[in-house]
């Protein structure tokens, strides 16, 4: 009678599922005392696209400030929706570490809101 062959148990190597986000975004930084988040046609080589060439008349300064705030708020809301979709997809695919580009998140997208994802490290 032949002895029964032993079954070998081969341990799978541990792994971490990492995802790197490539996202078209506007940098959340001040550049030449201007915020690209408040200027939809921001370019380094050009001036402020919202302000008239001769400067903003004082009568319109409050309206221009309100416009900049609306642009920044709208951009932040749209970006947050994109980030939420990325987070949902990452969770569904078992991603454990998610890496976003540097200077991608504006102040309106608070990092603590991103960290409420169970078992998902966002950097």
Average pLDDT value for the chain: 77
pLDDT > 70 in the chain, percent? 72
pLDDT tens digits along 33-90 = 778 888 888 877 787 888 888 888 888 889 988 998 998 888 888 888 888 888 889 8
Number of domains in the chain: 1
Q: Model confidence at 21, in pLDDT bands (50, 70, 90)? A: confident
- The residue ranking higher by pLDDT, 10 or 118, is 10
Integer Cα distance of 54 and 23 in angstroms: 36
Domain-embedded: residue 84: yes
pLDDT > 90 in the chain, percent? 3
Residue 74 structural domain: 18-122
> Which class for 81: exposed (0-12), middle (13-18), buried (19 or more C-beta within 10 A)?
exposed
Domain-embedded: residue 4: no
Domain-embedded: residue 30: yes
Domain-embedded: residue 10: no
Domain-embedded: residue 3: no
């Amino acid at each position: 009678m032949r002895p029964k062959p032993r079954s070998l148990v081969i341990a799978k190597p541990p792994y971490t599922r990492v995802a790197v986000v490539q996202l078209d975004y506007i940098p959340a930084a001040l550049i030449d005392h201007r915020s690209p988040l408040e200027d939809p046609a921001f370019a380094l080589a050009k001036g402020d696209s919202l302000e008239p060439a001769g400067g903003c008349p004082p009568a319109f300064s409050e309206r221009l400030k309100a416009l900049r705030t609306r642009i920044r708020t709208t951009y932040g809301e749209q970006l947050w929706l994109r980030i939420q979709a990325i987070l949902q997809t990452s969770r569904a695919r078992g991603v454990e570490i998610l890496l976003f580009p540097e200077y991608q998140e504006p102040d309106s997208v608070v990092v603590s809101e991103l960290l409420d994802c169970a078992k998902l490290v966002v950097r």
